[in-house]
């Protein structure tokens, strides 16, 4: 028996890792599969011209989103602030596939009634807040939200995602500094996927490890394999526990890779082919499927049942969303400005009486 096989046997004998039940291990698989399949359906709709605006894939980053969000305690009222690629995180928090289909197709039935697109919507009841497009800005916002948890004496935790590019903004620095100095219950997930648009990590920052930036704020910095869902979950779980215990912020770097362009329109001409091929071989879903099988955590039948359920759910959601109407033009301003205006805008100058 090889050393690797022996290690696998030992782990199997000691039961599932990270305190997860067999049901939860299958749950992680199901969220990753749903994320991948939902995005594949969206690509089909995009090619038919039914998606408005860009389509931002998380291909190869499903373990990063799903594993990290899964470490939060939804029942405790934990809150998450996603980025455009964190479809998997939102599904874990309870967002439904049809909501994304409606958002991407700008349907009148979408959570934002067709006024915003893609993942730009929030629901405080389900613990996720709508993102601001400006990179890094969700860090100070989440510092503020977790400060309120502290002030009210609530044992809730916040999680915020930043990309390698977003970490170069002033907003990231200000938010990190505030959250770190107040020891706020916040987990900052640094998604190192190698690129910000076409800018490589090497051109983005002089540090080799994004986790090293934690030192400048006096907080723990951890690094995990972002394509290994259980490694992501374990590291995120530790960070969430630290935050809930009053030990403050953790900066958790997840090393992964953006396998598609910035969005579907981007042909990735700047990406070396061998680099892409290397990361394709490190696919997070393939890796987890192999683990589930080798370690006896889920049978092939159990996985097929999940795949079939996901396919059925998506068939129904796509069929429903496709025939739904766009918003009525006459309602374009509803919910955008208060109606009637609550008060005269400060910038509005009445013409002097004639």
Ligand X SMILES: Cc1ncc(C[n+]2csc(CCOP(=O)(O)OP(=O)(O)O)c2C)c(N)n1
Could you list the residues that contact Mg ion (CB under 5 A)?
Answer: 163-164, 193, 196
Q: Which is nearer to Mg ion, 210 or 243 (CB)?
A: 210
Residue 133 engages ligand X in binding (rule: CB under 6 A): yes
Minimum CB separation from Mg ion for residue 225, in Å? 17
In this chain, which stretch among 64-72, 73-81, 165-173, 227-235 interacts with ligand X, using CB under 6 A?
A: 165-173
Contact 60, 256 (CB under 8 A): yes
Give the H or E element holding residue 29.
Answer: helix 22-47
Shortest Cβ 99–Mg ion spacing (Å):
25
Q: Which of 24, 37, 169, 181 binds ligand X (CB under 6 A)?
A: 169
Cα separation of 268 and 259, whole Å? 9
Residue 191 or residue 234: which is nearer to ligand X going by CB? 191
Alpha-carbon gap, residue 331 to 267, rounded angstroms: 37
| Candidate segments 157-165, 174-182, 275-283, 306-314, binder of ligand X by CB under 6 A | 157-165
Taking the C-alpha atoms of residue 227 and residue 235, their distance in angstroms, rounded to an integer, is 13
Segment near ligand X (CB under 6 A); pick from 42-50, 121-129, 130-138, 144-152: 130-138
Chain Cα centroid distance, residue 354: 57
C-alpha separations of 283 from 7, 248, 267, 303, 327 in Å: 22, 33, 20, 17, 39
Is residue 134 a contact point for ligand X (CB under 6 A)?
yes
Partner touching 64 among ligand X, Mg ion, none, CB below 5 to 8 Å by kind: none
**Helix (H), strand (E) at residue 302:** helix 300-322
Task: Output 158 or 163, the one with its CB closest to Mg ion.
Answer: 163
Q: How far is the CB of 177 from ligand X (least distance, A)?
A: 18
Q: Which positions from 170 through 229 interact with ligand X, judged by CB under 6 A?
A: 191, 193, 195-197
Residues 71-100 that bind ligand X (CB under 6 A): 83, 85
Q: Residue 18 or 141: which CB sits closer to ligand X? A: 141
Q: Which residue is nearest to ligand X (CB)?
A: 163
Distance CA 53, CA 104 (A): 8
Distance separating alpha carbons of residues 99 and 103, to the nearest angstrom: 6
Q: Are 210 and 190 in contact (CB under 8 A)?
A: yes
C-beta of 134: minimal distance to ligand X in Å? Answer: 4
Count of residues near ligand X by CB under 6 A? 17
- CA–CA separation, 193 vs 165, rounded Å? 10
Which of ligand X, Mg ion, none does residue 169 bind to, with CB < 5 to 8 Å depending on kind? ligand X
Using rule CB under 6 A, residue 260 touches ligand X: no
DSSP calls for 243-294: HHTT---EEEEEE----S-SSTT---TTS-HHHHHHHHTT-HHHHHHHHHHH
Check if the beta carbon of residue 157 is closer than 8 Å to that of residue 78.
yes
**From 99, 164, 234, 283, residue interacting with ligand X (rule: CB under 6 A):** 164
Q: Which residue in 88, 114, 140, 163 binds ligand X (CB under 6 A)?
A: 163
- Return the DSSP state at 334: B
Q: How many CB atoms lie within 10 A of CB 319?
A: 10
State the nearest-atom distance from the C-beta of 167 to ligand X, in Å. 7
List of residues contacting ligand X (CB under 6 A): 83, 85, 133-135, 163-166, 169, 191, 193, 195-197, 258, 262
């Amino acid at each position: 028996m090889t050393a690797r096989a022996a290690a696998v046997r030992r782990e199997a004998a000691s039961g599932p890792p990270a305190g997860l039940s067999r049901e939860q291990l299958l749950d992680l698989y199901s969220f990753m599969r749903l994320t991948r399949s939902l995005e594949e359906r969206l690509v089909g709709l995009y090619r038919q011209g039914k998606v408005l605006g860009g389509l931002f894939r998380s291909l190869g980053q499903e373990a990063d989103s799903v594993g990290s969000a899964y470490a939060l305690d939804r029942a405790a009222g934990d809150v998450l602030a996603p980025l455009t690629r964190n479809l998997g995180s939102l599904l874990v928090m309870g967002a439904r596939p049809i909501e994304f289909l409606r958002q991407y197709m700008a349907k009148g039935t979408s959570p934002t009634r067709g006024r915003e697109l893609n993942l730009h919507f929030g629901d405080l009841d389900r613990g996720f807040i709508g993102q601001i497009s400006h990179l890094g800005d969700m860090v100070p916002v989440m510092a503020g939200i977790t400060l309120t948890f502290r002030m009210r004496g609530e044992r809730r935790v916040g999680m915020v995602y930043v990309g390698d590019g977003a970490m170069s903004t002033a907003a990231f620095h200000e938010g990190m500094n505030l959250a770190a100095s107040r020891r706020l219950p916040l987990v900052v997930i640094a998604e190192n996927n190698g690129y910000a648009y076409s800018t490589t990590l090497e051109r983005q920052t002089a540090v080799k490890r994004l986790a090293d930036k934690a030192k400048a704020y006096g907080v723990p910095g951890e690094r995990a394999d972002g394509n290994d869902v259980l490694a992501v979950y374990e590291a995120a779980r530790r960070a969430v526990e630290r935050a809930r215990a009053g030990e403050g912020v953790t900066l958790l770097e997840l090393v992964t890779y953006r396998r598609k362009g910035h969005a579907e329109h981007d042909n990735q001409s700047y990406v070396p082919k061998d680099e892409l091929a290397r990361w394709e071989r490190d696919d997070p879903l393939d890796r987890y499927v192999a683990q589930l099988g080798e370690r006896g955590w889920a049978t092939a039948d159990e996985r097929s049942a999940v795949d079939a359920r996901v396919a059925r759910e998506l068939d129904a959601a796509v069929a429903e969303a496709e025939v739904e109407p766009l918003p009525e033009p006459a309602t374009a301003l509803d919910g955008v400005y208060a109606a009637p205006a609550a008060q005269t805008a400060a910038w509005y100058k009445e013409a002097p009486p004639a």
